[in-house]
A and B are shown apart, each in its own frame.
Chain A
Amino acid sequence: MTKAQKTIGVLVPLALLLALVIWTFTWLIGYPPTVQAATTTPGEVNVTMQTVGTIGTGPHPEWVSYLIQQPDGSWTHSTVLQVPAHTKVHMTIQQYDTGSSLRNPLMNQVLGITDAANNGQPYGLWTDVIGHTFTIPELGISVPLPGIPDDSTNMCSVAPCAKSFDHNTVTFTFTTQGAGTYTWQCFVPCGVAYLAGFGGPMATLGYMNGILKVVA
């Protein structure tokens, strides 16, 4: 074997290994993908998300999850949301999951947002059948999302869910402050079969906890 062949024999595997490492690293830092909110009017953006009892696809088809709608109307399985700073964010969350009781009933309280409504009805107290919450503790934002009835006969089981399936539509608005990165999560212990109900999907980015990127 010539010296050149030996060199190639070493360098090519090394290059392949390096490429694999870079690809893995890039995939890891880019997953789940960031979804940018759709700007409607200056200073305001719209965000539409949905929660589903079972995502129906991927490595954990039985896991509960959030999805975010892209500006073009398609759905992305992600919980990384990017919104501008000092902007009014109009949120719409389509809730396709059933409800259960909260571990801490305080989370029934709507906090840090305005114009909360469920199916067009202004917020009261959505007490006994909370499906999930959309909560950003650091920003003092929390919204309970009422669940659909347990005996619903028209439940969605594979995301993304069409509006023809039973669901509740929760709308609310909050205003972002300066740039920053904030974690958000659900406070209903809906990680069924996991420790304290907060393992599995509840502890996994892309399912029931996410990141809100507020950019200048």
Chain B
Amino acid sequence: MARGGDENKKHLTRIALIWMVLAVILTPMVYFVWGPHMPPGNMADNAEGQRFDNTVLATVATPVVLFIWVYFGYALVNFRRTAGDDTDGPPIKGHARFQAVWVGLTTFIVLSLFVFGTYELVAPKGAGTGSGASPIWTPAGYTDDQAKSTLFQVQVIGQQWRWTFRYPQYSGVQTTELVIPTGVPIQFNVTSLDVIHSFWAYQLGVKADANPGVNNISFVTVSRTGNFDIRCDELCGPLHGAMFSTGKAVSMGDFNVWMAAQLDKYAKVIPLLPPYATTYLPQVDGGYYDPSQDPLPPDATLPSTPAAPAAASPSPSS
């Protein structure tokens, strides 16, 4: 049964009205009601930024999704074939103005989100992503020379199948737990001793690939104390699923107490650790890290005790 132009306009008007009412109600709700509960939370600056990004993306997507749902719902209800009606539907024909609006609007939305997403990914210090060995967007206090950096340094070492963490500003001690202080900018230096892993501290909004032979830098400032989940986000072998642990964000005072205990606990093994380096690969024979081989390449070796972090209390090693 063919429909005339007036009838089509009537349907379009109804669809537009239903869509507008729903969009006006639901779009602000997505931003103001759902937004504050979106992942990954607000434990750190990166996490807050990612939550804002998720909120904006969901808010922009809401009217689009609503339009599709309303259109489909309206079509299901109103454009059903009636019993005994075997006539053809109306012929499909072009509508230049409608197409121009449709293409123009979607292009505008997609390009706007592209610009927004790109800005949000790079401007806030890399947004918690691994930014390589020489990041472009960095926090104040960062230098390429870790020994001169005033940021709080933590080296994240992936290996099959666990994470360990090295604190170059604290005698280069390596621990099996990740504990970090709140309120200070932290530089994660992520690397691997064997295959490719991915360091994902979910509640901190940090995710950086751990590549052998690469120092992948990521920044974060944690805003409140609490636990956060650490997982490997790159399939790295049969026990990949067991490669998780729980990190802790504590006050600087509590961190110093914890660190003093770690320095005592690992006192005997610290001298056995290799000199702190941004990477431990490749070895001189091109193979995997093996402390029994020749020393690490000189250009990768850093002093075992770089400068203490700016906002930290004097370290036990200083």
Contacts and interface: CB of A to CB of B under 8 A. Distances in A.
A103 B242 contact: no
A111 B176 contact: yes
A12 interface: no
Interface stretch (B7-15, B87-95, B144-152, B159-167): B159-167
Contacts of B238: 203-204, 209
B273 A105 contact: yes
B291 A101 contact: yes
Interface string B209-245: 0000000000000000000000000000111001101
B269 A106 contact: yes
A137 interface: yes
Contacts of A202: 160
Nearest to A137: B162
A187 B274 CA distance: 17
Contact of B272 (A127, A138, A185, A209): A127
Can you list the 9 inter-chain pairs with the closest CB atoms, starting with the nearest?
A: A196-B194, A101-B292, A198-B160, A105-B272, A203-B238, A183-B242, A137-B162, A109-B269, A106-B174
A111 B162 CA distance: 14
21 contacts: A102-B291, A103-B193, A103-B288, A104-B159, A104-B289, A105-B273, A106-B176, A106-B266, A108-B272, A109-B266, A125-B268, A125-B272, A138-B245, A140-B176, A185-B239, A195-B195, A197-B194, A197-B288, A198-B195, A198-B237, A209-B239
B194 A103 contact: yes
Contacts of B120: none
Contacts of A100: 292
Interface string B265-291: 010110011100000000000001111
Contacts of A105: 269, 272-274, 291
A103 B289 contact: yes
B104 to A, nearest CB: 52
Given A104-B193, A106-B176, A203 B237 contact: yes
Contact of B269 (A125, A187, A198): A125
A135 B291 CA distance: 20
B273 A196 contact: no
Contact of B160 (A101, A138, A196): A196
B157 interface: yes
A146 interface: no
Most buried by B among A108, A125, A137, A183: A137
B242 A137 contact: yes
Nearest to A204: B238
A183 B240 CA distance: 11
A198 B272 CA distance: 22
Given A185-B161, A187-B159, 4 more contacts: A106-B164, A125-B269, A137-B176, A138-B242
Interface string A102-131: 111110110100000000000001011000
Contacts of A102: 291
Contacts of B266: 106, 109
A198 B239 CA distance: 10
Nearest to B243: A137
Nearest to A105: B272
A177 to B, nearest CB: 15
